[in-house]
Amino acid sequence: MADQNSQDRNLPASQRKLKKAREDGQLARSRDLSHFAAIAAGAWALMLMGPSVTSGLQGLLAEALRFDTHALASTAMGERLASLAVAFVSVVLPLGLLMMAVGIAAAVASGGWVWTLKPLMPNFGKLNPLAGLPRLLSTRQLGDAMKAYLLASCWVRSVRSISAARSSRSAAW
């Protein structure tokens, strides 16, 4: 009987099982694909919009650090903070929205669109923190941490090289 169970696991899943897994939100998706796509889109957008975003943030900072007697009034400070917050969000929000849209599009492209709340339902059987400790310290988590470290180091290196190239270009002028 045990031999028959192991043979069943080697067979492809039936249409019924595939449909039930899809309804439960259990899909084969690549997390790395959507992460890479979002970060690549963010890097691309920063390279294209970098000068305008930088000048916008510099202007915003200059405005925020400009104080006069009207700015120090008790009611004006709240209004000023609100206007600066709106200006900051208008500068930063397009990049965030672009990265979010690309990440969602990559996730949908890798596994299709599934609308279910079953994966969000709490499973009280998994609330034991000691049971999750081996998963936290697993080789998979170590691999994910190493990928994140390599990605961050590549990101920092590329940003440093771009800023060094821009500063050498501006110093040459």
Residues 97 and 138 reside in one and the same domain = no
Q: What is the pLDDT of residue 73?
A: 67
Statement to judge: residues 91 and 160 lie in one domain: no
Is 66 among the domain residues? yes
Distances (CA, A) of 155 to 34, 42, 96, 115, 158: 16, 11, 17, 33, 5
Residue of 89, 92, 90, 107 lying closest to 38 (CA atoms): 107
Say if CB 107 and CB 34 are below 8 A apart.
Answer: yes
Range of the domain at 153: 129-173
On average, the pLDDT of the chain sits at 79
Q: Is 150 helix (H, G, I), strand (E, B) or coil?
A: helix
Give residue-wise pLDDT tens across range 94-127: 888 988 898 888 878 877 777 777 767 777 776 7
Place of tokens 């499973």: 123
Q: What is the per-residue pLDDT across 124-172, written as a single tens digit (0 to 9) for each?
A: 776 777 777 777 788 888 899 999 999 999 989 988 888 888 777 766 6
- Rounded to an integer, what distance in angstroms lies between the CA atom of residue 92 and that of residue 90? 6
Q: Which two tokens stand for residue 70?
A: 């009207």
Q: How many domains does the chain have?
A: 2
Please check whether residues 65 and 139 belong to one and the same domain.
Answer: no
111 and 27 in contact (C-beta within 8 Å)?
Answer: yes
